[in-house]
A = this chain, B = another copy of it.
Amino acid sequence: MSGKYKRYELPVRKVSIFEVGPRDGLQNEPELISTDDKIALTDMLTDAGCTRVEVTSFVHPKWVPQMADAEKVLAGIEKKPGVLYNALIPNMRGLERAIACGLDHVVTIMSASQSHNRKNLNMSVEASLKELENVISRARSAGVKVRSYIGTAYGCPMEGAVDPHRVLEIALALEHFGSYEISLGDTTGMAHPRSAFEVGSLVKGNLKDAALAAHFHRADGIEFANVLASLEAGIDIIDSAAGGLGGCPYAPGAKGNIATETLVDMLHRLGIRTGIDSEKIQSAGRFAKSLSAYYRDEAGHE
């Protein structure tokens, strides 16, 4: 039997996974997780083959008590050669703490929509860009490389649709300031494959030097269709969190991140290389869930 046989071709053969579990995954957990457990999770992730891990956040402990032990976590993890350890810095003070720790990669954050940026960072998009220009300049002078999130890149829970060209403008500004990588954040799980493809390919096609990543949140599985559409747009860096942790499963529109172990499963089924060990990342995902008050019950069902 012959017959038509269309090949399914993706422009991507290898994906670099940016693991955000220890930071984005754990930051909203209602019960304080021990520093030792955070260190153990990070070490399991790098042992599984993750080469880029967002370990913690230099946010003020008043805002995110869960991340108050940032320095201790960074001091305690096993530093493996070839692994880039990152931390989120919300502002210049966070950057100075990161520099004091000797960290050489940090991550900045802002939103594409005014309403969400004001709610999250208490300033306008323009003010965030101005501050990030200073932060990124200071980071570069200290030899620290900067990755930049653009939140609400695929839609804003307050404003609805976000103009892809607005996202591009912000991405180009951040690239101009010196960010080496932009990550488009689907902050509240509003993306769909069309927006994932169109926003992704627009930004990807216009960045000159900076790399581009996509960062989706859980949306009952739709996030994996969004990943597929992003791969089709040529995006080869995907953010995810072991165990699918993050957000609050009880609050609508604030679900967790894409589960790294499922992302690895899908990519490997597709023949796309990740450099990550399937079994070890499954274990890391189970361990991550065991740390989560939100997911502990669910994990018990598996």
A301, B301: Cβ atoms under 8 Å?
Answer: no
- Determine which residue in A10, A172, A222 has the highest number of CB atoms from chain B within 10 A of its CB, and name it: A222
Instruction: Report how far A250 CA is from B302 CA in the complex, Å.
Output: 6
- Each complex incorporates copies of this chain amounting to 2
B198, A7: Cβ atoms under 8 Å?
Answer: yes
Whole-angstrom distance from the CB of A14 to the nearest CB of chain B?
15
Instruction: Report how far A250 CA is from B299 CA in the complex, Å.
Output: 11
Interface check A149, CB cutoff 8 A: no
A222, B262: Cβ atoms under 8 Å?
Answer: yes
Q: Which 4 A-B pairs have the closest CB atoms?
A: A221-B221, A192-B269, A4-B205, A8-B197
B301, A270: Cβ atoms under 8 Å?
Answer: no
- Secondary structure at the A interface, as helix, strand, loop or mixed, is helix
Interface check A6, CB cutoff 8 A: yes
Q: Which residues of A contact B (CB under 8 A)?
A: 1-8, 10, 164-166, 168-169, 172, 192-194, 197-198, 201-202, 205-206, 218-225, 227-229, 233, 249-250, 258-259, 262, 265-266, 269-271, 297-298, 301-302
Q: What residue in chain B is nearest A6 (Cβ atoms)? A: B201
- In the bound complex, residues from chain B placing their C-beta under 8 Å from that of A3 are 165, 168, 202, 205-206
Partner of A193, one of B166, B222, B228: B228
B6, A164: Cβ atoms under 8 Å?
Answer: no
Instruction: Report how far A169 CA is from B3 CA in the complex, Å.
Output: 10
A202, B5: Cβ atoms under 8 Å?
Answer: yes
- In the bound complex, residues from chain B placing their C-beta under 8 Å from that of A229 are 8, 228
